[in-house]
Chain A
């Protein structure tokens, strides 16, 4: 069992070491049954977007899809090479 807060603050990097950002939230789909995590949110947009100044989430590139995650070790989340923010 992992906790939500254990994801926060982890560096998100590709296998070859390219830094994509710091995890500061998880994006999930709510609907039937348990929420499923779709993506790791890395952009710093979180607080500011709610000032209504920044564009809505669908237009921002701030997340890494969960399927791209290869492993989680130490203080990092490692994703496949070639993963881009979407």
Chain B
């Protein structure tokens, strides 16, 4: 029975892995460079596994979530900078996700976009208020599994599999190295989404994980995210085999669904839309709570998604306010797909500020006892620190130089 539960948890993780950033960047990267960037996705997926395993272990052994660690380890000014940048990025991501949900609803129903934004926001708020989190994770996680239609589509499009395999070897055959680098940064930023880590570690503290849950933590991280990574591959392969050939740049979520419609017809389109709706909807809830967790943890307030709203009033007010702000941002008419690109790039820039404290706490034997990072964990931890620093430093220059990927 336990294995059944674990399997369910992993399924939910797979369905929840892809968010609007992954959709946009993986398909665009495929549409621009074919399969050449598949190896970068691998690096990104391993990166999120390393990051979330460490966060999960820190939560289980020391009872600290990410922003507890940020508050304790970085000086007052640096930790405030980490908080502010995380919240700004979170809000941008939230707005993009809500916009994504609204677009899906529009494609499914044909109703006017503006009204659907409001509907999406209110629906998300009501769902969070009324439904228990276990059910939310299940509904959105399993619904997100519809995205597997892209895996089927990828196969049905008959890509040149040798070319796909070649994509897993780092290489670059292009006359636009800057654009290639920009997409690489974007893919890494989209894979290593910080809000997911904030959400995951806070959940671990709330569920009072202990050392006995460490195996589960590792399995969740590796299998859940690992398999979720396959969805990212599928998206890029679809981008490479369908869009590149036809010279389509998937600027709209609607164009992305073509990736399922062309090879699989109406059923493909429907599954893609439902999958995107649930995956992005689930992501918006995670992002919303991540923002509330961060603020509450930083300021020492009571917090928790399993607590009744009246058990954590300021935390509750925070996510309500964030939802309203996110809604407001989308209502201004900003294009969610465009906003996604900015959100992913900026989150890549801010990533070191929340990664370093976790790496520090994970090594602190006073809190972690015998569960502190061993040599292997530190090799990965430090390698990814270097990766994250490179990404953070080059993200904005590349964004400017390539004109946000338009070149």
Contact = CB atoms under 8 A, between A and B. Distances in A.
Contacts of B378: 52
Contacts of A50: 73, 360-361, 363-364
User: Which interface residue of B73, B360, B372 has the most chain A CB atoms within 10 A?
Assistant: B360
B87 interface: no
B158 interface: no
A1 interface: no
A4 to B, nearest CB: 12
Nearest to B372: A52
Interface string B342-375: 0000000000000000011101110000001100
Contacts, number: 16
A52 B373 contact: yes
A47 interface: yes
Contacts of B364: 50, 52
Nearest to B360: A50
Nearest to A52: B363
Contacts of B365: 52
A51 interface: yes
Nearest to B73: A47
Nearest to A24: B75
A5 B244 CA distance: 59
A51 B372 CA distance: 10
Interface string B48-77: 000000000000000000000000010000
B378 to A, nearest CB: 8
A52 B367 CA distance: 12
Contacts of B73: 47, 50
Interface in B377-405: 378
Interface string A15-58: 00000000000000000000000000000000100111000000
Contacts of A47: 73, 360
Nearest to A56: B365
Nearest to A48: B360
Interface in B177-201: none
Nearest to B382: A51
A47 B85 CA distance: 22
B80 to A, nearest CB: 14
Nearest to B359: A51
A83 to B, nearest CB: 27
B376 to A, nearest CB: 14
Contacts of B373: 52
Interface in B103-124: none
B190 to A, nearest CB: 29
16 contacts: A47-B73, A47-B360, A50-B73, A50-B360, A50-B361, A50-B363, A50-B364, A51-B359, A51-B360, A51-B363, A52-B363, A52-B364, A52-B365, A52-B372, A52-B373, A52-B378
Interface of A: 47, 50-52
- 10 A-B pairs with least C-beta separation: A52-B363, A50-B364, A51-B363, A50-B360, A50-B363, A51-B360, A52-B372, A52-B365, A47-B360, A52-B373
Interface of B: 73, 359-361, 363-365, 372-373, 378
